[in-house]
Structure 1
Amino acid sequence: MTRRGLLIGGLALVGLGGGALLVRQLRRSGPPVGAWIPLHSIAAPTLPAGPSPASEAPGPDTAMTIWAHADDDIIFANPELSTAIAAGATVRAVYVTAGDAGKGLDYAREREAGIRAAYDLMRGSVGEWDERSLTLLSGARVTRFVPRDEPRLSITVLRLPDGGLNGKGFEATGNAGLTQLVNGEVAELVPVDGAPAYDLPRLTATLAELLAAAQPGRVSTNVPHESAFAHGDHPDHSCVGSLVRASAPVVGIAAEAMSYYIGYPSQDRPVNVTGEELDAKVEVYRTYAADDPVVRCGEASTCLAQPGFGEWLRRTYPMSEGELRLS
């Protein structure tokens, strides 16, 4: 089915992939709220030695973005992301979980197709994307997508299982996610595509390797668990923020080069995306959502009416290290 064929109005509740908790929240028209789960501290990783298979040619104004799910950037870090791409910046995007909601690889691939479509809109081209598998020095196997006509952009996915809003994962993936891995409640996580399993040292080493391979001048990610702004956020978001915050210094990325974007709790802050910027941001999101049956929306007004998403789209709040209100 084509993307145009998938464009329908309204929030698609049939086959909803966000789990029972998200279903209940949407039915009562409230925004999603993530469970607050204490998280163990994350040790600094050991960077694998040698040239990485993930290395890419550095380009102008190289930025790396590392997120829990394939839509976090376009929801929480736009219009900054669109502005950077339009200005010719090199952008290396990484998504740590498959965002699969226990629905398997097919749904994860739908989300990946959606984010590629969103990037096509932001870059102003619909050229083909090459897909290839990379086995890293860390032992991880990741999948990378690169537009054939624009190698300054790339998307790398690890496809770890989604932890869900309650942080407990889904039955189909062993009721485990990033929270359990960081807290030592499970020894490893198996990606939904059957790639080699990740223990915590492999995951942090993989993130460090990807950071070193990209050689970014700046890095964007989710707000970490240690921040006061993480309360009420998706547990996967805060885990990824903490993982990146622990990994970045190992490869020489200074604290001032980091930007941490507030997730779900941004809805409680003043609206700061309006007018033409909001119109463009919603269109990028709508383009992504055409491939994601959980949040598909045919019109901008329908997208903005979605519980939670409409509020997040109207806001973007990057925090520096000094603004995180760490505990």
Structure 2
Amino acid sequence: MSDIDEPSTGDPADPDRLARRRPALSRRTMVLGGIAVGGLAALGAGGALLYREVRRSAGPEGAWVQLSPIASVPSASPRQVSPAFEEPAGDTTVAVWAHADDDIIFANPHLAGVIASGATLRTVFVTAGDAGRGLGYAKQREAGIRAAYDLMRGRTSPWDTREITLLSGARVTRFVPVDDARLSITVLRLPDGNLNAEGFASTGDAGLTQLINGTVPALRPIDEGPVLDASRLTDTLAELIGAGVPDHVTTNIPHESAFARGDHPDHSCVGSLVRAVAPSVGVPAEAVTYFIGYPSQHRPTNVDGEALDAKVNVYRTYASQDPVVTCESASACLSQPGFGQWLRRSYAKTEQELELR
């Protein structure tokens, strides 16, 4: 997820509060169906009624933009050992996602099952999910995802933080619990591409879509790390996947799948990048699992009972650090447009099930 607005406080239908909010296109207005909430305030009581009606509507859908084919990374044998290498520790999944929360929203309860089983999980987040608001907000989301992982692993010890310069030249930040080396979270912090695939003004109106399509030559991470052109980005992802020595890879649905239409553009970009580079580090197609994003809201519910309770609790733990989506109770989380639908669903697809176009 991405595309944010001011933190939500008080009665969401309060016209005075709405009048104080920016009318600019944002995460919350996108979540509310693309309507600028500030504009509703001018409608008075009628605006409040419309606002409540929109809150009951389906979640957002991302813009559909044609994506250029992604060149695969040449296989190299033997590969030089990456500074990001992590010792294998049992059955290992490397999970690569666009934003910090894609995994807990779209890939749970599978994600929690991996952690509960004692298996190894190496997570990579490609974009900062910053929505143009800068590094401070991105770090709030990262803190939220660490808290969610703590809940799933049943411990709350500190996480070690270190910066790593990869063989590709990229610089990443890695978090590892001091008492649980089988888990790690690595962030690239590339700029969020926005629901419209056009990025945000504060980060040059550019994101993964423009980089892959060649309309921008490179992207600079929002933490001022080295710039990444398309070739360096694919090299970076190949290096990080290989450094995790995976038995399994999980990621977003790729752009070339029929299930990607209406998804966040960043999601489908990351899925396509992983699909293109995974073979170069020896990951067979059958070892990769893709999770449907936004379009899952149109499929039947398949997460309920105790599994739903646990999934919502993990999401609520994350959201307590994200001022845009904070929800104080399970019912409040499930009433959020989009999020409520996604939390009740999780759909995994194999390579053979992608319905490639």
How would you bin the TM-score normalised by the shorter chain? over 0.9
From 9, 27, 35, give the equivalent of 1:18.
Answer: 27
From 240, 262, 266, give the equivalent of 1:236.
Answer: 266
**Unaligned runs of at least 5 residues, structure 1:** 1-5
1:295 match: secondary structure: coil
Please say if residues 32 and 60 of structure 2, whose CA atoms lie closer than 8 Å, have aligned partners that are also in contact: no
What TM-score results when the alignment is normalised by the length of structure 1? 0.94
Query: 2:42 — aligned with what?
Result: none
2:342 match: secondary structure: helix
- Distance in 2 separating the partners of 1:130 and 1:17: 33
2:157 match: secondary structure: coil
Query: 2:189 — aligned with what?
Result: 159
1:25 Cα offset (Å): 3.0
Q: Deviations over 1:153-181 (max 9, x none)?
A: 00000000000000000000000000000
1:143 match: secondary structure: strand
Please say if residues 8 and 297 of structure 1, whose CA atoms lie closer than 8 Å, have aligned partners that are also in contact: no
Please say if residues 133 and 143 of structure 1, whose CA atoms lie closer than 8 Å, have aligned partners that are also in contact: yes
Cα gap change, 1:273 to 1:21, in 2 (>3 Å): closer
Amino acid at match of 1:104: G
Query: 1:280 — aligned with what?
Result: 310
Amino acid at match of 2:63: A
- Distance in 1 separating the partners of 2:111 and 2:9: 26
Cα gap change, 1:126 to 1:47, in 2 (>3 Å): farther
Query: 1:226 — aligned with what?
Result: 256
Please say if residues 53 and 134 of structure 1, whose CA atoms lie closer than 8 Å, have aligned partners that are also in contact: yes
Query: 1:314 — aligned with what?
Result: 344
Larger displacement relative to structure 2 (291-300 or 10-19): 10-19
Query: 1:93 — aligned with what?
Result: 123
Q: Deviations over 1:46-87 (max 9, x none)?
A: 468411000001011100100000000000000000011011
- Indicate the structure whose relative CO is greater, using CA pairs within 8 Å and at least 6 residues apart: 1
From 93, 97, 118, give the equivalent of 2:148.
Answer: 118
Does 1:57 pair with 2:87?
A: yes
Identity of aligned residues (%): 62
**Unaligned runs of at least 5 residues, structure 2:** 1-6, 36-50
Does 1:262 pair with 2:280?
A: no
Cα gap change, 1:132 to 1:33, in 2 (>3 Å): same
Amino acid at match of 1:303: C
1:45 Cα offset (Å): 1.8
Query: 1:211 — aligned with what?
Result: 241
Cα gap change, 1:123 to 1:132, in 2 (>3 Å): same
- Distance in 1 separating the partners of 2:75 and 2:170: 13
Please identify the structure whose Cα radius of gyration is greater.
2
- Distance in 2 separating the partners of 1:281 and 1:196: 36
CA RMSD after TM alignment: 2.0
Please say if residues 65 and 197 of structure 2, whose CA atoms lie closer than 8 Å, have aligned partners that are also in contact: yes
Please say if residues 46 and 205 of structure 1, whose CA atoms lie closer than 8 Å, have aligned partners that are also in contact: no
- Distance in 1 separating the partners of 2:261 and 2:343: 19
Query: 1:40 — aligned with what?
Result: 68
